[in-house]
Amino acid sequence: MTAPMHLASQLAVNVLDARSLLTAFGALGVGVVLFAETGLLVGFFLPGDSLLFTAGLLCTDTADRAVHLSLAPLLAAAAVGALTGAQCGYLIGRRAGGALLARSRSRRLHEGAKRAEELLERYGYAKAIVLARFIPVVRTVLNPLAGALEVPVRTFTLWQVAGGLVWSLGVTFAGYALGSSIPDVDRYLLPLVALVVLVSLTPLLAEVLRSRRDARAKGAQQ
């Protein structure tokens, strides 16, 4: 493949499709996507969970050899992207306050901010920062929100590192372990990724149902 054709294929990548991202950019793409998803509000739509899981699958010998990743560089890229992204988001929140979020017209982003604030109020800083890693959109907005709310730097850094490592390495290892145990795992890639996305959305759906239940209970008492 010539250089112009290779560049064109990279520019044509589908950022919402984990397989497309990994084919174009490999492990480096994982780090960049996780940094954008956890550090920049514009990255809230990126497929962090499915990307990590799919990347783990593609590190195994049973996966499609056309897209094969090495586990060690992948883990390093995932960890660096997740940790530096969260810290960057926090610093943006400290400097800009809620201004960036207030300017956004994305309903999904504002709903994520509401869930993030509820997590902080309900569980406290440590548990909320760790739990947010496993909730799409919330893991994007909680970091700048924590900065805007002036969560202590040491507290935020400690727990975002703990949560970031558990999330990024854990989901990647889950994909790797499953890929290592299932022959021709590529046949099941789409349903497996769909399952990962569904599981990752479960905490958010549970919070939505809880909020609606609490709202109905308050309405009945009035």
pLDDT in tens, 140-177: 989 998 998 889 999 999 999 999 999 999 999 988 98
- What H or E segment, with its residue span, contains residue 149? none
Judge whether 105 and 95 are in contact, CB under 8 Å: no
CB atoms within 10 A of CB 100: 17
pLDDT score recorded for residue 149? 83
| Residues with Cβ within 8 Å of residue 190, at least 6 apart in sequence | none
What is the mean predicted confidence (pLDDT) over 180-209?
Answer: 64
Residue 150 amino acid letter: E
- Under the banding of pLDDT at 50, 70 and 90, the label for residue 82 is very high
pTM attached to this predicted model: 0.75
C-alpha–C-alpha distance, residues 64 and 9, integer Å: 19
Output the pLDDT for position 199.
64
Residue type, 132: A
Q: What is the DSSP letter of 46?
A: S
User: What is the C-alpha separation between 128 and 173, in angstroms, rounded?
Assistant: 23
The residue-averaged pLDDT of 73-84 equals 96
Distances (CA, A) of 103 to 96, 109, 110: 11, 11, 10
pLDDT digits (tens, 9 = 90+) for 18-30: 777 887 888 899 9
Q: What is the mean pLDDT of the chain?
A: 79
Packed helices 48-57 and 153-181: angle between N→C axes, nearest 10 degrees: 40
Q: Is the pLDDT of residue 9 over 60?
A: no
Q: How far apart are CA 99 and CA 158, in angstroms?
A: 26
